[in-house]
């Protein structure tokens, strides 16, 4: 029986990913911040997949040593993580000087530092076993500077570039371990409220995809050892086109989308 560890696996895109892993017979380890959400997810999976193990670990992943705590706790439980999904993350929207510096610092800790450390800890074991997969959730905003989403977009650019570079290194060493990064467009989840984007039309626009579609496309890409996926093929082709545009124009388009 294989095990998938999913950060933020109790809601939104992470919950949909957890469902796909559970349907494929994986034992689940779900790590997130709120106990009630973790309990609800555990009940859901235990009812639907009584033969499989569902372990939850409550951890605020913005805190110092959070990734080390998760890693050491999983070791102490004898869990071998076959797939690590770095999904937990949140956004911060607005004019840079008007955004809460503490909230943005926590966002950097979660979206960047935690992804970095979780990857370092678990990848080491995977490379030693010459088996395993990592799926990192970035965003379409990773491809360009995004005014009014400046810090968030930069954190997601880190996730994208870090993931692709590691996957390249692994392939060049002929490793069987792979790293896939998913870069979704807007998805209607709790992310919207968390990022202070409530009421924004973007999440109901032609740019929006469902959490189910994001999870499905990311899951398929991960299983095919692809390095990068933009959920919904149309957005993949659209991104190929927009990447040819000058950065100034891209920022203008992005500003208009984020209104």
Applying CB under 6 A, the site for ligand NAP has a residue count of 28
Q: Does 136 bind ligand NAP (CB under 6 A)?
A: no
- Going across the sheet that includes 178-182, the strands are 54-58, 27-32, 3-7, 83-86, 133-137, 178-182, 228-229
List alpha helices for the chain, DSSP H.
Answer: 12-23, 35-48, 66-76, 101-108, 115-129, 150-172, 191-194, 211-223, 233-242, 247-257
Q: How far is the CB of 130 from ligand NAP (least distance, A)?
A: 28
Q: Which is nearer to ligand NAP, 32 or 178 (CB)?
A: 32
Q: Which is nearer to ligand NAP, 99 or 110 (CB)?
A: 110
Q: Which residues contact 137 (CB under 8 A, 6 or more apart)?
A: 13, 14, 85, 86, 87, 89, 159, 181, 182, 184, 218
The catalytic site residues sit at 152
Phi, psi of 48, deg, nearest 5? -80, -30
Q: Which is nearer to ligand NAP, 175 or 210 (CB)?
A: 210
Piece in contact with ligand NAP (CB under 6 A), picked from 11-19, 47-55, 143-151, 227-235: 11-19
Q: Does 132 bind ligand NAP (CB under 6 A)?
A: no
Q: Does 137 bind ligand NAP (CB under 6 A)?
A: yes
Q: Which residues contact 208 (CB under 8 A, 6 or more apart)?
A: 185, 186, 187, 188, 202
Query: Strands 3-7, 27-32: parallel, antiparallel or unpaired by DSSP?
Result: parallel
Q: Does 146 bind ligand NAP (CB under 6 A)?
A: no
Each residue 35-54 as x (binds ligand NAP by CB under 6 A) or -, in order, gives --x-----------------
Q: Which is nearer to ligand NAP, 109 or 133 (CB)?
A: 109
Residues that bind ligand NAP (CB under 6 A): 8, 10-14, 32-34, 37, 60-62, 87-91, 110, 137, 139, 184, 186-187, 189-191, 194
């Amino acid at each position: 029986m294989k095990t998938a560890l999913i950060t933020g696996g109790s809601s939104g895109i992470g919950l949909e990913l957890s469902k796909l892993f559970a349907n494929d017979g994986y034992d689940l380890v779900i790590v997130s911040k709120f106990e009630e959400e973790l309990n609800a997810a555990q009940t859901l999976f235990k009812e639907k997949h009584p033969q499989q193990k569902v372990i939850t670990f409550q951890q605020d992943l913005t805190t110092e040593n959070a990734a080390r705590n998760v890693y050491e706790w999983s070791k102490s439980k004898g869990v071998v993580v076959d797939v690590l999904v770095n999904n937990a993350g949140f956004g911060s929207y607005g004019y840079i000087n008007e955004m809460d510096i503490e909230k943005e610092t926590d966002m950097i800790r979660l979206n960047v530092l935690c992804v970095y450390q979780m990857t370092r800890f678990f990848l080491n074991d995977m490379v030693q076993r010459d088996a395993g997969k990592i799926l990192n959730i970035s965003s379409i905003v990773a491809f360009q500077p995004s005014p009014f989403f400046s810090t968030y977009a930069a954190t997601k650019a880190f996730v994208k570039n870090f993931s692709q570079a590691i996957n390249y290194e692994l392939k060049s060493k002929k490793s069987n371990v792979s790293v896939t990064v998913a870069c979704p467009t807007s998805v209607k989840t709790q992310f919207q409220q968390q990022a202070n984007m409530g009421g924004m039309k973007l999440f109901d626009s032609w740019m929006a995809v469902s959490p189910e579609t994001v999870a499905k496309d990311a899951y398929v890409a991960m299983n095919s050892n692809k390095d990068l996926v933009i959920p919904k093929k149309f957005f993949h082709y659209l991104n190929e086109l927009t990447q040819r545009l000058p950065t100034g124009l891209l920022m203008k388009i992005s500003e208009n989308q984020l209104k």
